[in-house]
Every structure is written in C-alpha cells, then in structure tokens.
Amino acid sequence: MTGIADGRVVIVTGAGRGLGRAHALAFAAEGANVVVNDLGVGLDGTPDPDSPAARVVDEIRAAGGEATAHAGDIATGEGAASLVATALEAYGHLDALVNNAGFLRDRMLVNLDEDDWDAVVRVHLKGHFLPLKHAAAHWRAEAKAGRTPSARVVNTSSGAGLLGSVGQGNYSAAKAGILALTMVAAAELGRYGVQVNAVAPAARTRMTERTFAETMAAPDTGFDAMSPQNVSPLVVWLGSAASEAVTGRVFEVEGGRITVMEGWRPGPTADKSARWTPAEAGETARKLLAAAEPPGAVYGAEQPPGDTRRRRSGTTGPPCP
C-alpha cells in the first residue's frame, strides 16, 4: 500500500473499536505500519474477555497492510514504555502517536464517586501523558543523535473539554486537560522535530451510541454524518509528514465539517492602573461582560427560553471521545 503515510510507523491507542479502529485502518490504507493498542475493556473500563486489537490487526493484514497488536495498559509507565518499545522492535522507528483510548463513568457531580473521577482522569489524561512522554523521550534522543524526526502526535479531546458536558464532570475535566497538555507539548517538543495537535471529534461510537441515532445518513447522498471514518482523514493527515508546520492546534471534526478552534483569547478589558474596590470591580466586570461574546452552551444544559445561541462551532451533537 502507498499513500500519504507510506512507510511511517504509527501507534494508535484504544484502536480496537470506534474512532481508534477507524484511525488504524485509515493509516494502514495510506501505507503506514500500525501498532494497534487496546486493553480490551468494557465501556466503563472494567475487564472485557473479548480483546479487539488482534481483530483489527487481522483486518489490516487481510487488506494487504502491516500491523502489530499491543494489549498493555498505556495509563501505566510500564505499559506506555512497552507500547513504544513494541513499535521500535517491530519496525525499527516511530513516526506518529495517536492518543485515543478512553472510557466513561458518567454521573452528576453530587453523585460522582472519587473512584469514578480517578478512573476517567487516569485513562484519558494520564493515558495521554505517559505514551507521549515515552515517545517524546525516544524522539529527543533521535534528535540529539543527529537524526531529527518528522514526528507527529495527535491527541483526542472532545466537545466536553471545549464547552463542558452536564453529567460528565470527570470526562470534561480530563478532556480540557488534554487541550492544555497539547499546547505545552507542542511548545516543548518542537525543537526535537515533533508536532503536537489535538482533535475534538463527534462520531457514533460505543461511548455515544445511546445518544446518536443508528444512522444520520442524508437521504439524497447516503452520507453517514456520524461515522467514525469521517474523523480519520484529518487524523491521518496530522500524523503524516504532509502536515509540516502545523502544531499546537485544535480541530473540531464532525461529519464533513472541520473547524479550527481558537481557544481562550483576551476579550474586553479595563485597566484602572490602581486597585479596584469590590463595588468598582463588580461594576466594571458587568460592563465588560455586556461587551463580550457570550460563551457557548454547555452540552446538556437547559437554555433559557428564547435563547437561540448556537454552540461556538455550530455543533449540535454531544461530545465524543
């Protein structure tokens, strides 16, 4: 197979199902050698006897591609280190890391147990940090040895990380943390030939199947707007050498739409050049708020009657892993 990722070695975490599987297949179709990581757990992160990583590897090989399975826990130092080692042992180098693994344990905040908080933050946020850390250590060593790579990292955030999502405080916090981690990694690792970006996808997966209808195909074209396969082309491009000079960016992807997210930027401001009194500060804050653009609505929040504001990017669906 030849294509935009021809000859590149790509790790995809959580690649046994859903978005990760779609990414792995898409990379392979474009000529990449893929390390398919999946721990094989259920939607809530509990053990699942049906491990899907090997099946995805079989799919890739049946289509003429090359792939290797990895079933380690990438939210542990040992598992993340063995993930990178698997790529190097199988293919001799590493070009891209796609952090995608995750699960949900949804609760309203007052009902959210500490264990449910820790488990979700662990798999999403720590499960991004540790593979990134070990891949970056390899790429830094390569750069210092005079072999500066054309390396890529694609992290997976969510609309929940961008806007928040009612009933998903743990997930929203982790996905927002991934955005900040992406910015820091892009700034720190650029000197070693590493570009780091993030996507916030909306697609039908195990984590969203109860929310999205079974199909959202347009009757005239048959286009399934919620297929995970719609997200993968941008991920493949970001993981390829063709994305040169694109780093520290966040893209929202849904159906046929790609949106560059612009993040937190300074809005209206006032400077007294002296300390405010509480009353003055409050009066000034209200004036600034009146001049500011209103925030997008939190997913799942009730909007006041007559409030027709669309979410910041125009997305109408819920967040997705």
Cα–Cα dist 144/137, whole Å: 11
Q: Where are the beta strands (DSSP E) in the chain?
A: 9-12, 33-37, 66-70, 96-98, 151-156, 194-202, 250-254, 257-261
**Phi, psi of 111, deg, nearest 5:** -105, 5
Backbone φ, ψ for residue 194 (5° rounding): -110, 130
3-state DSSP call for residue 129? helix
Q: Which position among 82, 157, 165, 171 bears the catalytic label?
A: 171
Q: Catalytic site residue 171?
A: yes
Q: What are the φ and ψ backbone dihedral angles of 168, each rounded to 5 degrees?
A: -135, 50
Among this protein's residues, is 192 annotated catalytic? Answer: no
Cα atoms found within 13 Å of the Cα of residue 5, Cβ hemisphere only = 33
**In the sheet where 257-261 sits, what is the strand order?**
66-70, 33-37, 9-12, 96-98, 151-156, 194-202, 250-254, 257-261
The candidate with the shortest Cα–Cα distance to 227, out of 259, 254, 257, 198, is: 254
* Annotated active-site residue in 165, 172, 175, 243: 175
Q: Which of 82, 157, 158, 240 is catalytic?
A: 158
β-bridge pairing 9-12 and 96-98:
parallel
Active centre residues (catalytic): 158, 171, 175
